[in-house]
C-alpha cells in the first residue's frame, strides 16, 4: 500500500490585491494559480522557475505565512488551509522552513544555542539539561561544535549561519522541510557542503523536502522529482531523470539549455533563448501563459489553456503542441 503523502497541494491559488486608482476597479495579482503536487516521506521535490514565477509564494502558503485564496493544503491528509494562527502551532512543529538569507533570519541578540533551542521551548518539548543536550546533539548533526553555542550569529561565517538555520529547523523533529533558495546567498565554494548536508540529513531522518530554487544544476543534484513553474502555474513535473533527460515542455527545455556545462566545447545541446519578458501576473495572456515567449506557439495556444498530458512514471506536462506530437 502506497503511504499517504506528507504534503499534498490541491488546486492551490494565491491572489494579492493591488492598489488601483481612486474609485477604480479592484485589481488582483495571481501569484499561484491552481498548483497541485505531493511529496512523500524521504522524498525531495525540486520546485523551479524564473524569479517571480510564484515558487516562493507556494512555500509561504504551505507555512500559512500567506493565507491561500483557494485550494487545499493537506499535511498528512489534514487540510490546514482553514486553520487560524493558533490552530497552526502543532502544524509548525512538523513543517519547518529554511530561509534564503541565514543572517536576516537569525536573531542577532540571541546566542546560537538559544536560537536553535527556542523551538523546543515554544512547542514545550524540552527544558533545562534535556534541552541543552538536544541542542548540543543537533549542533553536531549539522557540523557545528557544541562549544559554539554561546556565540552570536555575527560570529559565524555564511555557511555556518545556514547550518544554524538548518539546526533550528531540525531540532523539533519535523516531517517536512521547506527549503527556499537555501544556498543562493552563499559563496559557491561552500554551497556544495550545505547541499550535501541537506541530502544526508534528509536520508537519515526520512524527511519530506520541498526544495525551491532557480538553479537547475542544484535541483538535479538534490531532488528525486522536479516541478517546473511559469507565471504561477505548473507546466511540467515528474521524476528528476525524466525532466532532465527527456523534457517535454518548451519552457523546461529553455531552462535546461541555459545550464552551464563544464566543457564549453561539448556539442549536442541547442541553446534556446526566450524572447520578451515574463508577462504581468496582473494581466496574464489568454490561453497558455507561456505562449508569448514560446518558440513553437500556434493559434490554439492563445484560445485555450492546455491540459496535462500524462506520460509514464508520473511525468506530465501542459502544452498543446507537444501533446499533439507525443500522441502522433
User: Tens digits of per-residue pLDDT, 98-125?
Assistant: 988 877 888 999 999 999 999 999 999 9
What is the model's pLDDT at position 104? Answer: 82
What is the model's pLDDT at position 272? Answer: 80
- Radius of gyration, alpha carbons of the chain: 21
Average pLDDT over residues 21-26: 69
Domain boundaries, the chain: 7-223, 243-262+269-328
What is the model's pLDDT at position 185? Answer: 77
Q: Which residues pair with 239 in a beta bridge?
A: 225
CATH topology (fold) of 7-223: Rossmann fold (3.40.50)
What is the model's pLDDT at position 258? Answer: 83
Report whether pLDDT(273) > 80.
no
What is the model's pLDDT at position 264? Answer: 57
Joined grid coordinates for residue 105? 533570519
* Distance of alpha carbon 62 from alpha carbon 81, whole angstroms: 8
Under a CB-based contact definition with an 8 Å cutoff, are residues 95 and 75 in contact?
Answer: yes
Average pLDDT over residues 283-298: 93
Instruction: Show Cβ contacts of residue 50 under 8 Å, excluding neighbours closer than 6 positions.
Output: 214, 230, 255, 278
Amino acid at each position: 500500500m502506497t503511504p499517504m503523502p506528507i504534503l499534498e497541494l490541491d488546486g492551490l491559488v494565491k491572489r494579492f490585491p493591488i492598489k488601483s486608482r481612486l474609485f477604480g476597479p479592484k485589481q488582483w495579482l495571481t501569484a499561484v494559480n491552481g498548483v497541485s503536487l505531493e511529496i512523500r516521506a524521504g522524498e525531495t521535490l525540486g520546485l523551479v522557475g524564473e524569479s517571480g514565477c510564484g515558487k516562493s509564494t507556494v512555500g509561504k502558503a504551505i507555512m500559512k505565512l500567506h493565507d491561500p485564496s483557494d485550494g487545499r493544503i493537506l499535511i498528512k491528509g489534514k487540510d490546514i488551509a482553514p486553520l487560524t494562527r493558533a490552530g497552526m502551532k502543532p502544524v509548525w512543529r512538523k513543517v519547518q522552513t529554511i530561509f534564503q538569507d541565514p543572517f536576516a533570519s537569525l536573531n542577532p541578540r540571541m546566542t546560537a544555542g538559544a536560537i536553535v533551542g527556542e523551538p523546543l521551548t515554544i512547542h514545550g518539548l524540552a527544558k533545562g539539561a534535556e534541552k541543552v543536550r538536544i541542542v548540543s546533539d543537533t549542533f553536531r548533526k549539522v557540523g557545528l561544535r557544541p562549544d559554539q553555542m554561546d556565540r552570536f550569529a555575527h560570529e559565524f561565517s555564511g555557511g555556518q549561519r545556514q547550518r544554524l538555520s538548518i539546526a533550528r529547523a531540525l531540532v523539533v523533529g519535523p516531517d517536512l522541510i521547506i527549503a527556499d533558495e537555501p544556498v543562493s546567498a552563499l559563496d559557491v565554494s561552500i554551497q556544495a557542503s550545505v547541499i550535501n548536508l541537506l541530502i544526508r540529513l534528509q536520508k537519515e531522518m526520512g524527511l519530506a523536502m520541498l526544495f525551491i530554487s532557480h538553479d537547475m544544476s542544484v535541483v538535479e543534484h538534490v531532488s528525486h522529482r522536479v516541478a517546473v513553474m511559469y507565471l504561477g502555474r505548473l507546466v511540467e513535473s515528474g521524476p528528476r531523470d525524466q525532466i532532465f533527460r527527456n523534457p517535454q515542455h518548451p519552457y523546461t527545455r529553455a531552462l535546461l539549455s541555459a545550464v552551464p556545462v563544464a566543457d564549453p566545447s561539448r556539442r549536442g545541446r541547442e541553446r534556446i533563448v526566450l524572447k520578451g519578458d515574463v508577462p504581468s501576473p496582473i494581466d496574464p495572456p489568454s490561453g497558455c501563459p507561456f505562449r508569448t515567449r514560446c518558440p513553437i506557439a500556434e493559434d490554439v495556444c492563445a484560445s485555450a489553456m492546455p491540459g496535462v498530458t500524462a506520460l509514464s512514471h508520473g511525468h506530465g506536462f501542459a502544452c498543446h503542441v507537444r501533446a499533439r506530437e507525443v500522441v502522433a
